[in-house]
Amino acid sequence: MDADVAVVGLGTMGSMTAWQLSRQGVSVLGFEQFGIGHDRSAYGGGSRRFRIASPLVEETPFIKGSYHMFRDLEQEAGQQLLSYSGALTIGDPDSQRMKNVMRSIQEYDLRHEILDDHEAMRRYPQHRLLPGEVTVWDEMGGVLRPEQIVIAAVNRARKLGAQVHSYTEVKDIQADETGVTIIAGEDEKEYRVGKVIVTAGPWANKLVPNMNKIYSAQRIIMTWFIPESPEQFTEEKFPNFSRLSGGRHIQGTPAIDGRLVRVSESLERAKYDSADHFDKNVSVEDILGVREAVKELIPNLNPDPVSIAPFMDGFTTDGLPIVGSTSKNENVILLCGFSGQGFSQSPAMGEIAAHLAMGNKTGYDIKHLSPKRFGL
């Protein structure tokens, strides 16, 4: 045996899984097709919003469980990875989305404040609110630094003994009753391990058979804007936000570099059968919507984006991730398909995958996330 567990893909989920396994004293072989911290996949772009009060109530326990784990990683790495600025969700109080946010707060007892439109515009004058809109402030929210987090988790795993192979693509996974053979790299070298955890994000359907019908890589575009006065858009004054206002759905993060504010629009996403076909070009039509939204809703930003970058995530047809062993072979564990929502829950998900690989029970309810629901 070359190791107890192989982790295929050291991006968001893979870095956390390798860290969690190594912390438990499990020997790990990690493979990443690009460099650690690369920008071609689901975690690029410099920031991810963290909020616990989620309109997808079922993801709240995983995000809540992740909060302290991000703080643990900060301690171990000796750097700040998640800011303390809170998070705003803004919208029509009668909408299902805002009702779900309130449900998430009540069911999981989250520290929060609810502001009416006048109070919210007094505290956050950067937002132009529509009459009657409500703003929910989630105290434990903040902005995650995704590339630093992936690098910190992989470095911790390495320090604890994990063997990391970057620029090494896994070409095939062959599982049997006694373990798993991994074939990786240009020289197609074989490695033998007890179990494999597939954390290949948008590329998962390239490695796992029979996934194509329920899985796709989808593009999410990020856009950055210049503020009239940068001091109005610091982390302290302008927390990360998500807004559904007058049919426009935008989200964003403050000027963490002291210069550019990110505002992205939730659009219909370009879909790719294979992540290898991902197109990094963005057309003018793709950014006209966010330009209008910025003009209307955050008027102190110059509405023409100064930076535009597309990334992709692995999406399932039901929008929920795939977490657990395959029905064909218990030694193959899938942790993929996070459908645009995964970064905030990644430490808890890494811990769950580590427990499954070690044959331990997890305290989280993951039945609804099983690969078996898709016949995998």
Ligand X SMILES: Cc1cc2nc3c(=O)[nH]c(=O)nc-3n(C[C@H](O)[C@H](O)[C@H](O)COP(=O)(O)OP(=O)(O)OC[C@H]3O[C@@H](n4cnc5c(N)ncnc54)[C@H](O)[C@@H]3O)c2cc1C
Residues in touch with ligand X (CB under 6 A): 8-14, 31-34, 41-43, 45, 48-49, 169-170, 199-203, 207, 220, 222, 311-314, 336, 338, 340-344
Supply the minimum distance, in Å, between the C-beta of residue 151 and ligand X.
12
Supply the minimum distance, in Å, between the C-beta of residue 160 and ligand X.
20
Beta strands in the chain (DSSP E): 3-8, 28-31, 48-50, 87-91, 112-115, 134-138, 142-144, 163-165, 170-176, 179-184, 189-198, 215-225, 240-245, 248-253, 261-265, 271-272, 307-316, 322-325, 332-336
Q: What is the C-alpha to C-alpha distance for residues 11 and 105, in angstroms, rounded to an integer?
A: 30
Q: What is the C-alpha to C-alpha distance for residues 343 and 42, in angstroms, rounded to an integer?
A: 9
With respect to ligand X, which residue has the nearer C-beta, 34 or 373? 34
Supply the minimum distance, in Å, between the C-beta of residue 202 and ligand X.
6
Give me Rg for the CA atoms of the chain. Answer: 21
What are the φ and ψ backbone dihedral angles of 8, each rounded to 5 degrees? -105, 105
Q: What is the C-alpha to C-alpha distance for residues 66 and 71, in angstroms, rounded to an integer?
A: 9
Supply the minimum distance, in Å, between the C-beta of residue 118 and ligand X.
28
Supply the minimum distance, in Å, between the C-beta of residue 71 and ligand X.
16
With respect to ligand X, which residue has the nearer C-beta, 78 or 191? 191
Q: What is the C-alpha to C-alpha distance for residues 283 and 12, in angstroms, rounded to an integer?
A: 28
Q: What is the C-alpha to C-alpha distance for residues 163 and 199, in angstroms, rounded to an integer?
A: 16
Supply the minimum distance, in Å, between the C-beta of residue 66 and ligand X.
9
With respect to ligand X, which residue has the nearer C-beta, 177 or 268? 268
Supply the minimum distance, in Å, between the C-beta of residue 365 and ligand X.
19
Identify which of 242, 4, 248, 259 has the alpha carbon closest to the alpha carbon of residue 136. 242
Contacts of 152 (CB under 8 A, 6+ apart): 73, 76, 77, 79, 81
Identify which of 330, 25, 6 has the alpha carbon closest to the alpha carbon of residue 189. 6
With respect to ligand X, which residue has the nearer C-beta, 39 or 117? 39
Identify which of 41, 10, 37, 13 has the alpha carbon closest to the alpha carbon of residue 275. 41
Helix segments in the chain, DSSP class H: 12-23, 60-77, 96-108, 117-123, 146-159, 204-207, 285-297, 346-357
With respect to ligand X, which residue has the nearer C-beta, 41 or 89? 41
Neighbouring-strand partners of residue 324: 334
With respect to ligand X, which residue has the nearer C-beta, 4 or 169? 169
With respect to ligand X, which residue has the nearer C-beta, 14 or 305? 14
With respect to ligand X, which residue has the nearer C-beta, 124 or 203? 203
With respect to ligand X, which residue has the nearer C-beta, 227 or 310? 310
Supply the minimum distance, in Å, between the C-beta of residue 48 and ligand X.
4
The residue number whose beta carbon is nearest to ligand X equals 11
Supply the minimum distance, in Å, between the C-beta of residue 187 and ligand X.
14
